[in-house]
Amino acid sequence: MSLFPFPFSPRKRYFVPLPGRAPLELGERTLVMAIINVTPDSFADGGVRFDPGRAVEDGLRMIEDGADILDVGGESTRPGAEALSEEEELRRVLPVVEGLGRHSRIPVSIDTYKAAVARCAISCGATIVNDVSGLQYDERLAEAVAETGAAVVLMHNRGRSREMYREASYGDVVGDIVAELGSTVARAIAAGIRRDAIVIDPGLGFAKSAEQTFEVLARLAELCSVDRPILTGPSRKSYLKAALGAAPVTERDWGTAAAVSASILMGAHIVRVHAVREMVDVVRVADRIRAAARASARDIQS
């Protein structure tokens, strides 16, 4: 039985290899992944970064604010969103990935489920593929990740954006997520992706009701059994309305801060957020609480 004080979860250290650069060191402190939506219809920021120059400029500012990873996405994955063509997605994201790669030193992630987009983004400097489908939408994506040596975030999801809530039926939501993510990891490894290059994401709000999403956050530590680093994306999502009411999306950052803290205390290695400067402060405080919990555990054990 762990002596790590409740409600804090132990957090294993991992080194995730990245092509052409030092590996991500995960576990000692929480990393902040900054969201850069290059879409005209982003639910969270109203499409303010649809212009590539603005997106690059904002990404560089996010680095100054403390971001550890920049996550660039060209297709909205909000419930009900329409799928985007490869050509249009590439037109949106490649100038941004290339610009950030040229002017920044931190890893750039491409938020896509399309193999062709992933390959092109990696050739332009991306080193991580953030796949909301968990290798379900494009059967070529696993091969693309394996051949390029990129790291990959595999998110738990069911169904496409337009019908995902129809799939939100679980016997035990966390137990089912753990089992399905375990199968996804096994499928990725069978396709040639290195196990140590895989990060898992429980998919907060994706094919999950608000109540199920809060339960996932409360039981996040159970994902440790998959033995891969954990990323959560709690930022500004609609599940927060269950607690905050009808607050506009841009006024959900206090609620997001609570979910970010819970994620970290329950064992997340990376948090994916919109408001970088504010959430970096949240992460630093939560990490100090974790450090104090570790020190208390050592004192008890000695």
- The domain ranges of the chain are 19-301
Token output for 197: 């290059």
Token output for 114: 């399309």
Tell me the average pLDDT across 152-170. 86
Tell me the average pLDDT across 186-193. 98
Cα 252 → chain centroid:
18
List C-alpha distances in Å: 68 to 116, 234, 273.
Answer: 25, 17, 11
Q: What share of the chain is helix, strand, coil (3-state, %, to 5)?
A: 45, 15, 40
Nearest to 78 by CA among 53, 50, 107, 111: 111
Task: Label residue 1 by pLDDT band (50, 70, 90).
Answer: very low
Q: What fold does the segment set 19-301 form as a domain?
A: TIM Barrel (3.20.20)
Distance CA 268, CA 246 (A): 28
Task: Label residue 43 by pLDDT band (50, 70, 90).
Answer: low
Which pairs with CB-CB distance under 8 Å and at least 24 residues apart come from 220-224? 220/9, 220/262, 220/263, 220/266, 220/267, 220/268, 221/9, 221/266, 221/267, 222/174, 222/175, 222/178, 223/174, 223/177, 223/178, 223/181, 223/267, 224/9, 224/10, 224/12, 224/267
- How many CB atoms are closer than 10 A to CB 49? 24
The amino acid at 158: R
DSSP type of residue 4 = S
Nearest to 62 by CA among 286, 280, 287, 283: 280
Task: From the candidates 49, 92, 236, 272, give the one annotated as an active-site residue.
Answer: 272
Task: Label residue 35 by pLDDT band (50, 70, 90).
Answer: very high
Query: Above 60 in pLDDT, residue 294?
Result: yes
Task: From the candidates 114, 119, 237, 290, give the one annotated as an active-site residue.
Answer: 237
Q: What is the pLDDT of residue 145?
A: 98
Q: What is the pLDDT of residue 46?
A: 47
List C-alpha distances in Å: 25 to 8, 13, 16, 34, 135.
Answer: 20, 7, 7, 17, 24
Tell me the average pLDDT across 4-31. 88
Distance CA 244, CA 255 (A): 7
Q: What is the pLDDT of residue 302?
A: 59
272 is catalytic: yes
- Between residues 83 and 265, which one has the greater pLDDT? 265
List C-alpha distances in Å: 191 to 10, 140, 141.
Answer: 30, 10, 10
241 is catalytic: no
Model confidence over 233-252: pLDDT tens digits?
Answer: 999 999 999 999 998 998 99
Q: What is the pLDDT of residue 166?
A: 79
DSSP type of residue 166 = G
Nearest to 74 by CA among 65, 59, 63, 85: 85
